[in-house]
Amino acid sequence: MKNIIDYIKESYEELKQDYTTADGASGNEKKALSSKYGTANKVKDIQKAILLKMREERHNRKEFTNDDVTNFTRLDFPEKKLYDELAEEPIEFVRFYADYYLQLLKKRRLDKMVGQKLNSYNSSISDRYAIKRYETILAYLTANDKTEEEKAKDKSDKERIEMIKKNLIEKISIELEGFKNKIIEMTKRFSKKKYDNAPKIIERCDKEISEIEQTFDGKSFYSYHKTNEYKRIEELRKIKSREKIILVKYPTYKEYEEACVNEAIRQFENNISAIADRVKEKGLNIENVTCQDVYDDPKFIEMRITDGERSLWCRSILAAEYSDKMIPHFRFIITERKGAK
């Protein structure tokens, strides 16, 4: 009686044979294979289905050969999808693949360059491709080749950090609530001004375009289309189009105001989240972080974020205050002063 290992071997050999047969298959053979694997009657589709069956079969094994690597690469996915494709494989195969690639790098004397900064002076395109692929495999193993206990701990740690970050965002948001309200009021003022000015801008553009076009009477397109006057017309048309979009998209000022305020709040919340991420990246103990020395006026805010040992200074700058293309908004700059607490 055959054991499970024998059946697996037979299944794999059958898949290999079908893959080879598909290459030069006759019409009847392709029809039979497409029916067997449930694909279109095309060689490429048949072979892709077989390769996916081979992947399923790899999940039943713990040992692998170079043929398995070949069949994996035959899946022909973009390099940026390598990490995702590895996730579909058994972890034992990924370990084998990592060792396989390491041996290739050693043969090409590239193994010492793993993790190093690569450029056209110290490596070829082919070298960089091979090293990058190996680094991606290692990154996948680092993140996923763990025991269930380790995975559970990682998940718990991640959830704890996310909760701490959420609390930090809430702390900063509370400290900046007054500043947020000022941003909303400023946004309302600028959006009202911009909406009211839109028809006037359109009218001015039409008038200037008409005046310039009158100077082209009787001239052919080719005699004026490269002139400064024609370029000015193109510029005016873009300005006019930008203003008309506002009026068409938002039939009333209140609708435009609401959209601008929602966008201002979204940007503000993104800035707060970015501040929290920066605090985390800088290595502050985010469980002990507090916001201190908060100072704000209608156009500026500054505060100190500290864990008691190290401090970050956060200040805002007003962007696009005089722009006629967008509503003014705030950006935040974060710096660390060495030796300061």
pLDDT, tens digit, 9 for 90 and up, residues 2-20: 444 444 555 888 898 989 9
* Residues linked to residue 319 through DSSP beta bridges, in sequence order: 329
- 88 neighbors 43 (Cβ within 8 angstroms): no
* Residues linked to residue 336 through DSSP beta bridges, in sequence order: 312
Cα 262 from Cα 268, distance rounded (Å): 10
Residue reference for tokens 């680094």? 135
Q: How much is the pLDDT for 206?
A: 92
Task: Give residue-wise pLDDT tens across range 225-252.
Answer: 667 888 888 899 999 999 999 999 999 9
Sheet containing strand 329-336, edge to edge, reads 290-297, 300-306, 311-319, 329-336
Task: Give residue-wise pLDDT tens across range 33-43.
Answer: 888 888 888 88
Q: How much is the pLDDT for 7?
A: 43
Q: How much is the pLDDT for 9?
A: 55
Q: Which residue in 208, 199, 207 sits closest to 243, CA to CA?
A: 199
Please write down the HEC assignment for all residues of 53-83.
HHHHHHCCCCCCCHHHHHHHHCCCCCHHHHH
**What is the CA angle 184-241-258, rounded to 5?**
20
111-125 average pLDDT score: 88
Q: How much is the pLDDT for 323?
A: 55
Cα 324 from Cα 37, distance rounded (Å): 60
Q: How much is the pLDDT for 285?
A: 78
| Strand, helix or coil for residue 294 | strand
Give the global pTM: 0.53
Using CA atoms, how far residue 198 sits from 183, 205, 325, in Å, is 22, 11, 11
Task: Give the pair of three-digit tokens for residue 112.
Answer: 């010492």
| Strand, helix or coil for residue 306 | strand
Task: Give residue-wise pLDDT tens across range 60-83.
Answer: 999 999 999 999 999 989 999 999
Band of the pLDDT at 200, cuts 50, 70, 90? Answer: very high
Q: How far is CA 300 from the centre of its chain?
A: 31
Cα 58 from Cα 38, distance rounded (Å): 20
pLDDT at residue 125 is higher than 70: yes
261-279 average pLDDT score: 85
Label residue 287 exposed, middle or buried (CB < 10 Å: 0-12, 13-18, 19+).
exposed
244-266 average pLDDT score: 91
Q: Which residue in 138, 92, 85 sits closest to 114, CA to CA?
A: 138
Band of the pLDDT at 219, cuts 50, 70, 90? Answer: low
- 93 vs 172, residue with greater confidence: 93
Task: Give residue-wise pLDDT tens across range 128-156.
Answer: 999 999 999 999 998 888 877 877 887 88
Cα 74 from Cα 176, distance rounded (Å): 55
Percent of the chain with pLDDT over 90: 35
